[in-house]
A and B are shown apart, each in its own frame.
Chain A
């Protein structure tokens, strides 16, 4: 970033944010417009393919879960290992409100959000007293306990057969539901952006680093910690509702261990690989991990791939076995996690930053690192 150097040569003049000296040219605006258009087209494409759009809905739901967990892990610095509990609770409440009370779909999803927000607030109350490793342990137990008890109650699972619900006719197509998921993701993405550029994000960052300093600045620790958990819970509840209607089925097995814990771990891996506190990175990682499961599964059905895999050490065991491709996905997750932690602490978000900055009307600079510049800070950065 050049702002510092410029400020150094001419002290006294008001320092301005880097890049604002430089104006967007007409072609620059056109190029960015095209990029946004391309992005919109890519996001819209799955709408045409019914089966694939269902997979993509899941990817979007994972991205939402990434944003949800990112608030707890990235912004407040606490590790939650039970976020599948919130996803499941959102799905359970939404599905049962529709199934048992026959309320409209949007109202049911609102109930789902309310329920997860309330439970997240309780977890937030715990987090006021307990932090770090022990809080992670509590979230782990929470996710495991709620999925093996509440989720499995016969009255919530239509006597263990799974609650079958259906979307209203105008959203019956998987592609349509995919668009709903994308719309929700965009809204949450915007809200998350607002959070990080307003007093709320600054308060959370201050709290994460040093509660005493935060308090000296007039930031209420209790209120903001609870707010963070409530927001995280609300987003997860929303994701749960989308999840329930995506498959038009609530089945507790999706969230029970070992599936449940695998999910919880996946969410954490998504956040770290995406870059803690970096919403764009987390969303991209969420989409990636959401897609990879299904895509690998599909891949395995291709005969050519299967016969090729026979000859690859380690992978050979997958052939003819019942082991699902999702386990290969978790292997990929583990490798990506290692790669991120050793070589690239900023995660995907740091890699994407030049592009993101370009897209938001700044100059394209590959190396804007170095601790300067507001963009490098704005709700981002991994603190080891």
Chain B
């Protein structure tokens, strides 16, 4: 069973069709990339999946449960961890306080006992702090523990935000441009870190990312969005050379690509292949994705068909 199954997700803002029939699947322990030019609808997709937007149509299924209409805070409690494009943290608090705040859904004492106090609450508060310290240790950020978030550098903040997302004890992690504000060296480290985290916590990830080397190095599978529609999907190496993707990023048309991908037998083969649920397996980057799209010579499965239809 896949962790996250999004089908035919559409949302319209006034005259703008921000998302149209987005379908994507994230399997256990996979790191799936969601890429696309600015304004393609990546963050909108995130917001729909995490419950911040209510999609007009379509479904979001998490481990077999329909969570399309579940509010975001409940999804966080279910195991959806997410980060934001512009750093989602409580800026006036310290790093430690933020990491404790992020564990909100895991706190077991209720409001009444919080107000009355007592040893149980104190014990749990200490446990929250200990967990926060462990996360800081893991990220190598112990020295900022008692600093206020507002004064930290952007790169540190992005990393801390990842720490906060981890503090929510997620099952699936949705990262919105985790490498923004980082240099090439830092984002390389981030890639290593994401792979390590997946191994350490058994995480499944969906990430929006612009930094191509990072996507290539960590993602098992990539979905490409353009103008709210799925343009292509496949393994990173395939996506990298996909003519339409290249065209979408650089501008212009790709008629040859269109023509080249309208071969129905291959498409059918791909559909058949992806319909088989991939068995859960330990995260061995790239190999996991190889199973998902064996017919990797067929670059795109949906976008060309839609273009032909419209």
Residues of A within 8 A of B (CB): 1, 3-4, 7-8, 11-12, 14-15, 17-18, 190-191, 194-195, 197-200, 202-203, 205-206, 209-210, 212-221, 227, 371-374, 376-377, 381, 383
Contacts and interface: CB of A to CB of B under 8 A. Distances in A.
A383 B142 contact: no
A383 B150 CA distance: 12
B146 A18 contact: yes
A345 to B, nearest CB: 13
Interface of B: 50-52, 71-74, 76-77, 81-84, 88-94, 96-97, 100-107, 109, 111, 114-117, 121, 125, 133, 142-143, 145-148, 150-151, 164-165, 168
Interface centre among B77, B84, B92, B121 (most CB of A within 10 A): B92
Contacts of A216: 50, 72, 76, 81-84, 88, 165, 168
Contacts of A12: 142
Contacts of A190: 117
A97 B104 CA distance: 40
B145 A215 contact: no
Given A12-B142, A209-B90, A377-B92, A199 B72 contact: no
Contact of B146 (A1, A213, A214): A1
B143 A15 contact: yes
B51 to A, nearest CB: 8
Contacts of B164: 217
B105 A218 contact: yes
B109 A199 contact: yes
Nearest to A373: B146
Contacts of B150: 371
Contacts, number: 140
Contacts of A7: 142-143, 145-146
The dominant DSSP class at the A interface is helix
B297 to A, nearest CB: 40
A79 B51 CA distance: 29
Contacts of A373: 94, 146
Q: Which of A209, A217, A227 has the most CB of B within 10 A?
A: A217
19 contacts: A4-B147, A7-B145, A11-B142, A15-B146, A191-B116, A195-B114, A195-B115, A199-B109, A206-B90, A212-B84, A212-B88, A216-B88, A217-B101, A219-B104, A220-B74, A221-B73, A371-B147, A372-B148, A374-B94
B62 to A, nearest CB: 15
A171 B117 CA distance: 30
**Nearest 3 A-B pairs (CB), nearest first?**
A218-B105, A218-B76, A198-B114
B107 to A, nearest CB: 5
Contacts of A220: 71, 73-74
A377 B50 contact: no
A14 B105 CA distance: 26
Contacts of A14: 133, 142
Contacts of A213: 84, 88-90
* A8, A200, A376, A381: most-surrounded residue (chain B CB, <10 A): A200
A213 B72 CA distance: 10
A190 B83 CA distance: 35
Contacts of B73: 214-215, 217-221
Contacts of B125: 197-198
Contacts of A212: 52, 72, 84, 88
Contacts of B93: 202, 205, 377
Contacts of A377: 92-94, 97, 148
Contacts of B116: 191, 194
A212 to B, nearest CB: 6
B90 A200 contact: no
